[in-house]
């Protein structure tokens, strides 16, 4: 092809110069105490550990390892607040605090995005555009419910449960804190929150926001620490409710410890979601949805679309288009605004991913990754696609929790449903088709708490979220999310 103007030159690719987000907005302290009774206090049991940035292994701060006596103090503080001002406060007054927290999260959104990306390793684009806005949205949403609980469908004057012990994971540290705190506070409970060992910092910035919002002391207490702190919290006799998001293995232990007590329990655990692409799907958008389903947040998403089920007649085309798309993903410094794939959160998680990927290779699946250079420091794993996967392979059954997609095929809608449901999990599923009736029929048959149609990994505070089977029970978000914190 020739034109009169440009004699068909060999054009060069458009390289993007580094565009790092500034860290200046964030002032981290060298060390943090525990947030109990509305103030940062020194621990009773002592012990500290360092939190590092997974993209650089840089030490960000020193945080406190809360022990059993610290858990006692936090629970006592939450109990005093529940028996005191917070428990007696009318819903319309509680809502003002929630609105205030939501607004402060928005005002300090850049700071929160930066701390989340540094501590977790996720791209700043995601913490800025997804985690932080959604966290604010959850507080706004539940702020609106606080004075309307009589009309929420739980009977007249539904009562709060009391003190909630909440243990959250490292994949969406701030967002999971918001998912836990906002409905608990809206319904009049008080909280003891335990952020994940590897990602405590955004919860500590949130503690500062709670102070700024002048939330009464003890309504929210934040204890940093490892799994033993979480175990002390959920087994503590002074709490009335346990809410846990994390692995199915830990969730099972928590369920055992709570069994036979008065405590209410909600669990949001693992997943092995099927993302089902029919031949009549909007293919370009389906490819985006596959990418967003499994490579969003490095695949550290409990509802990740880790199993691609694609109709055989289009499988070759879809995989080809997917590979071409993956070649454009930008892996690297999470603080760069153009980074799509950040770091793996910890060495432990990276080892788990590597072990499962090796199992996939040795079981005979075909492994593919786009050409990409991994940074030398920190923990990294390239976007990976397995084809020729059989439903019996470990990579088709076990949760990898990393940027690894297993591609399987199906021939009929019935087979798609059977394969999608053939898992011990049941958190989410995706359906891609231009045929509306098929979407409804599939949603009806899929045993998953969330079924996305022509989209994936879309979250909204108004929509309930939760699992079937070993993905847990209880719902978070929406009107349903209130029920987990009400004695109804």
* Sites of contact with other proteins (CB under 8 A): 1-6, 8-9, 11-19, 125, 129, 279-285, 288-289, 313-314, 317, 320-321, 324, 328, 337-338, 434, 454-455
CB of 59 to other proteins, least distance (A): 28
Q: Which is nearer to other proteins, 117 or 189 (CB)?
A: 117
CB of 294 to other proteins, least distance (A): 16
Q: Which is nearer to other proteins, 6 or 259 (CB)?
A: 6
| Tokens 């390793």 found at | 121
Q: At what angle do helices 109-120 and 201-212 cross, to 10 degrees?
A: 160
Separation between Cα atoms, residue 28 and residue 458, nearest integer Å: 31
CB of 479 to other proteins, least distance (A): 24
Q: Which is nearer to other proteins, 279 or 372 (CB)?
A: 279
CB of 281 to other proteins, least distance (A): 7
Separation between Cα atoms, residue 278 and residue 286, nearest integer Å: 9
User: Rounded to whole angstroms, what are the CA distances from 468 to 31, 445, 460, 471?
Assistant: 40, 13, 19, 6
Active site residues: 268, 302
Separation between Cα atoms, residue 290 and residue 288, nearest integer Å: 5
Closest CA to 292 of 405, 128, 456, 432: 456
Taking a C-beta distance cutoff of 8 angstroms, is the pair 168, 178 a contact?
A: no
Q: Which is nearer to other proteins, 9 or 156 (CB)?
A: 9
CB of 458 to other proteins, least distance (A): 9
- Structure tokens, 274: 């099927």
Taking a C-beta distance cutoff of 8 angstroms, is the pair 486, 183 a contact?
A: no
Q: Which is nearer to other proteins, 169 or 332 (CB)?
A: 332
Taking a C-beta distance cutoff of 8 angstroms, is the pair 344, 350 a contact?
A: yes
Taking a C-beta distance cutoff of 8 angstroms, is the pair 246, 255 a contact?
A: no
CB of 88 to other proteins, least distance (A): 45
Contacts of 479 (CB under 8 A, 6+ apart): 145, 152, 153, 464
Q: Which is nearer to other proteins, 31 or 313 (CB)?
A: 313
CA angle (432, 433, 437) in 5-degree steps: 120
């Amino acid at each position: 092809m020739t034109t009169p103007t440009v004699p068909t030159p060999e054009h060069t690719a458009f390289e993007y110069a580094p565009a790092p987000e500034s860290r200046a907005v964030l002032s981290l302290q060298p060390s943090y105490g525990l947030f109990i009774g509305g103030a940062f206090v020194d621990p009773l049991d002592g012990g500290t550990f360092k939190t590092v940035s997974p993209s650089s292994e840089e030490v960000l701060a020193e945080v406190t390892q809360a022990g059993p006596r610290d858990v006692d103090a936090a629970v006592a503080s939450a109990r005093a607040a529940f028996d005191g001002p917070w428990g007696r406060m009318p819903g319309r007054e509680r809502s003002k605090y929630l609105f205030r927290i939501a607004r402060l999260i928005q005002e300090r959104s850049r700071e929160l995005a930066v701390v989340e990306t540094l501590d977790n390793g996720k791209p700043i684009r995601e913490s800025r555009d997804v985690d932080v806005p959604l966290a604010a949205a959850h507080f706004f949403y539940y702020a609106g419910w606080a004075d309307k609980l009589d009309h929420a469908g739980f009977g007249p004057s539904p009562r709060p449960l009391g003190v909630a012990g909440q243990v959250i994971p490292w994949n969406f540290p701030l967002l999971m804190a918001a998912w836990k705190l906002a409905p608990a506070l809206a319904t009049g409970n008080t909280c003891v929150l335990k952020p994940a060992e590897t990602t405590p910092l955004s919860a500590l910035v949130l503690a500062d926001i709670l102070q700024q919002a002048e939330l009464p002391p003890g309504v929210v207490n934040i204890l940093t620490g490892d799994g033993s702190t979480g175990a002390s919290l959920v087994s503590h006799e002074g709490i009335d409710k346990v809410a846990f998001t994390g692995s199915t293995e830990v969730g099972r232990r928590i369920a055992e410890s709570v069994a036979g007590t008065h405590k209410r329990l909600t669990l949001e655990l693992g997943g092995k979601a099927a993302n089902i692409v029919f031949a009549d799907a909007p293919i370009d958008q389906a490819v985006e949805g596959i990418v967003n389903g499994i490579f969003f947040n490095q695949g550290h998403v409990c509802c990740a679309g880790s199993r691609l089920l694609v109709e055989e007649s289009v499988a070759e085309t879809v995989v080809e288009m997917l590979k071409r798309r993956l070649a454009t993903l930008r892996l690297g410094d999470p603080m760069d605004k153009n980074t799509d794939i950040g770091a793996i959160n910890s060495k432990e998680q990276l080892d788990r991913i590597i072990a499962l990927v090796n199992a996939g290779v040795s079981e005979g699946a075909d492994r593919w990754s786009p050409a990409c250079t991994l940074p030398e420091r920190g923990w990294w794993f390239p976007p990976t696609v397995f084809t020729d996967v059989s439903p019996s392979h470990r990579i088709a059954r076990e949760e990898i929790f990393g940027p690894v997609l297993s591609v399987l095929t199906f021939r009929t809608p019935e087979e798609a449903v059977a394969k999608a449901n053939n898992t011990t999990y049941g958190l989410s599923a995706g359906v891609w088709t231009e045929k509306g009736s098929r979407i409804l029929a599939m949603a009806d048959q899929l045993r998953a708490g969330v079924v996305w149609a022509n989209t994936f990994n879309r979250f909204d505070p108004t929509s309930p979220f939760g699992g079937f089977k070993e993905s847990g029970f209880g719902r978070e978000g929406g009107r349903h999310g209130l029920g987990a914190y009400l004695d109804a």
